[in-house]
A and B are shown apart, each in its own frame.
Chain A
Amino acid sequence: MSDNIVEINNLSFSYNSRLLHKGINMRFPRGKVVAIMGGSGSGKTTLLRLIGGQLKPSIGEVRVDGKVVHEQDADGIYQMRRKMGMLFQFGALFTYLSVFDNVAFPMREHTDLPESIIRDLVLLKLNAVGLRGARDLMPAELSGGMARRVALARTVALDPAIIMYDEPFAGLDPISMGVILNLIRRLNDALGATSIVVTHDVHETFAMVDYIYFVSAGVVVAEGTPAELRESQMPFVHQFVHGEVDGPVPFHYNAPDFRQDLLHA
Chain B
Amino acid sequence: MLDRLASTLRGIGSRVIDRIWRLGFAARFFVYSLAYSGESFRRFHLVIKEIYFTGVLSLIIILVSALFVGMVLGLQGYNTLQKYGSSEAVGVLVALSLVRELGPVVTALLFAGRAGTAITAEIGLMKATEQLSAMEMMAVNPIARVVAPRFWAGVISMPFLAALFSMMGVFGGYLVAVPMIGIDDGAFWSQMQANVDFHEDIVNGVIKSCVFGVACTIIALFEGYDAPPTAEGVSRATTRTVVNSSLAVLGLDFVLTSFMIG
Binding site for B on A (CB under 8 A): 52, 54, 78-79, 81-82, 84-86, 88-90, 92-95, 105-106, 109-110
Are B131 and A94 within 8 A (Cβ)?
Answer: yes
- 7 A-B Cβ contacts within 8 A? A52-B136, A79-B139, A81-B138, A84-B137, A86-B137, A92-B134, A94-B126
Are A110 and B139 within 8 A (Cβ)?
Answer: yes
Most buried by B among A82, A88, A89, A90: A88
Known: A90-B129, A92-B129, A109-B145. A81 touches B134 (CB 8 A): no
Main secondary structure of the interface of B (DSSP, over half): helix
Chain B residues with Cβ below 8 Å from A82 are: 139
Are A54 and B129 within 8 A (Cβ)?
Answer: no
CA distance A105 to B129 in the complex (A): 17
Chain B residues with Cβ below 8 Å from A85 are: 137-138
Closest 6 CB pairs of A and B: A92-B134, A92-B130, A81-B139, A78-B139, A86-B137, A88-B130
CA distance A88 to B137 in the complex (A): 10
Identify the closest chain A residue to B39 (Cβ): A109
Are A90 and B139 within 8 A (Cβ)?
Answer: no
Are B136 and A54 within 8 A (Cβ)?
Answer: yes
CA distance A110 to B139 in the complex (A): 9
CA distance A94 to B131 in the complex (A): 6
CA distance A247 to B205 in the complex (A): 71
Are B134 and A86 within 8 A (Cβ)?
Answer: yes
Chain B residues with Cβ below 8 Å from A94 are: 126, 131, 134
Known: A90-B129, A95-B129. A109 touches B140 (CB 8 A): yes
Chain A residues with Cβ below 8 Å from B136 are: 52, 54, 81
CA distance A122 to B134 in the complex (A): 18
Identify the closest chain B residue to A158 (Cβ): B138
Are A54 and B139 within 8 A (Cβ)?
Answer: no
Shortest distance from the beta carbon of A84 to any chain B beta carbon, whole Å: 7
Chain B residues with Cβ below 8 Å from A109 are: 138-140, 145
Which of B125, B130, B137 touches A81 (beta carbons < 8 Å)?
B137
Chain A residues with Cβ below 8 Å from B76 are: none
Are A52 and B137 within 8 A (Cβ)?
Answer: yes
Known: A78-B139, A109-B140. A88 touches B145 (CB 8 A): no
Shortest distance from the beta carbon of A55 to any chain B beta carbon, whole Å: 11
Shortest distance from the beta carbon of A56 to any chain B beta carbon, whole Å: 14
Chain B residues with Cβ below 8 Å from A86 are: 134, 137
CA distance A90 to B229 in the complex (A): 14
Chain A residues with Cβ below 8 Å from B139 are: 78-79, 81-82, 109-110
CA distance A81 to B142 in the complex (A): 14
CA distance A85 to B130 in the complex (A): 14
Are B131 and A95 within 8 A (Cβ)?
Answer: yes
Are B130 and A89 within 8 A (Cβ)?
Answer: yes
Interface string of B106-149 (1 = CB under 8 A from A): 00000000000000000001100111011011111100010000
Identify the closest chain A residue to B138 (Cβ): A106
Identify the closest chain B residue to A86 (Cβ): B137
Known: A95-B129, A109-B145. A88 touches B138 (CB 8 A): no
Are B141 and A92 within 8 A (Cβ)?
Answer: no
